[in-house]
Amino acid sequence: MSSEPIQITEIPTLPTRADDAHKGEVGRILVVGGRMNDLGMIGAPALAANAAMRAGAGLVQILTPAAAQPVVAPLAPCGTTRCFSPDSLPLSALAVEFGADVVALGPGLDPCVTAEMILELLNDYSGSIVLDADGLNTLADAGCWEASWPDQVVLTPHPGELKRLMRGFKVDTDLEDRRRSTTDLALHTGAAVVLKGNGTVVSDGERIYVNQTGNSGLATGGSGDVLTGVIAGLLGQQMSRIDAAVLGVYLHGLAGDIGAEEMGKLSLMAWDLLDFIPEAILELEPEESE
């Protein structure tokens, strides 16, 4: 019987930045997502891209279908966009071409991104990868899968997506069951897992963290896309996957708490979280000595 994972009790410290740092050194993030066909989903990749920059990323590019690019680009004005199709270079090659430190795949993903394309990324790209939303659902269709560098991968499922990844694996709302499910998926895949929900659980199979920030105001469309971007932005600043996941979940929840206090839980939208991430970060920044 495997031993119980070690409980994480300390929130990781924020990344540090040299005074002479430039944008190419503090995280290059490639966000793969967006669709504009039978169902338009243009906000998701923009939320992830903007959140990555709020978390400190230096450069962000959104890889999106041509039909979506004209409407996605204005929503993320500090980043760049690039069109792609099934006939484009493999995702791993496009990531290397951009010089990406991290690929965040899944927000509003177009159906043209197949399970085979995601598997190619997992096996040929050695940088960090964050898989969310439709990226996870598409990967679940592939059945049993492996990544060449699983210690570089973070999965961010909600309970329904975790069930699909684990082929019907039972996931209850009970905290102990959620802790066990998160750890099981981490051990099964070798990836770090962020099981979203009330008391989000993070585990890499050896360590585990149950988040204490956040509230029901985060139960709104796009909130998970913001979390994906925050984790990706932290990974791009050389944080380990478990530290980036724990800190990202904490900051995302704290931004939600600050937003709920200022706007109320019912009115809080995912887009609002982008404005509260800086306040959450400031609460963790050490005070400068006089």
Read off the pTM.
Answer: 0.97
Rounded CA-CA distance 171/183 in Å is 12
**pLDDT given at position 289:** 44
**pLDDT given at position 144:** 76
**pLDDT given at position 290:** 43
Please report, for the chain, the start and end positions of each structural domain, with discontinuous segments joined by +: 23-277
CB-based contacts of 288, cutoff 8 Å, min separation 6 = none
Do 133 and 44 form a contact (C-beta atoms < 8 A)? yes
Yes or no: domain 23-277 corresponds to CATH 3.40.1190.20: yes
**pLDDT given at position 170:** 66
Rounded CA-CA distance 8/284 in Å is 17
With tokens 């600043």, the residue in question is 237
Rounded CA-CA distance 33/103 in Å is 11
Do 47 and 18 form a contact (C-beta atoms < 8 A)? no
C-alpha dist (Å) from residue 203 to 2, 35, 148, 154, 249: 14, 31, 19, 10, 12
**Residue-by-residue DSSP string for 63-122:** EE-TTTHHHHGGG-TTSEEEE--TTS--HHHHHHHHT-SEEEE-TT--TTS-HHHHHHHH
Decide: helix, strand or coil at residue 129: strand
Do 203 and 177 form a contact (C-beta atoms < 8 A)? no
pLDDT in tens, the chain (290 residues): 457 999 999 999 999 999 999 999 999 999 999 999 889 999 999 999 999 999 999 999 999 999 999 999 999 999 999 999 989 999 999 999 999 999 999 999 999 999 999 999 999 999 999 999 999 999 998 887 889 999 999 999 999 899 888 876 666 678 899 999 999 999 999 999 999 999 999 999 999 999 999 999 999 999 999 999 999 999 999 999 999 999 999 999 999 999 999 999 999 999 999 999 999 999 998 865 44
Q: At what angle do helices 223-235 and 133-141 cross, to 10 degrees?
A: 90
**pLDDT given at position 169:** 63
Rounded CA-CA distance 131/233 in Å is 14
Residue whose C-alpha is closest to residue 112's, from 30, 36, 221 = 36
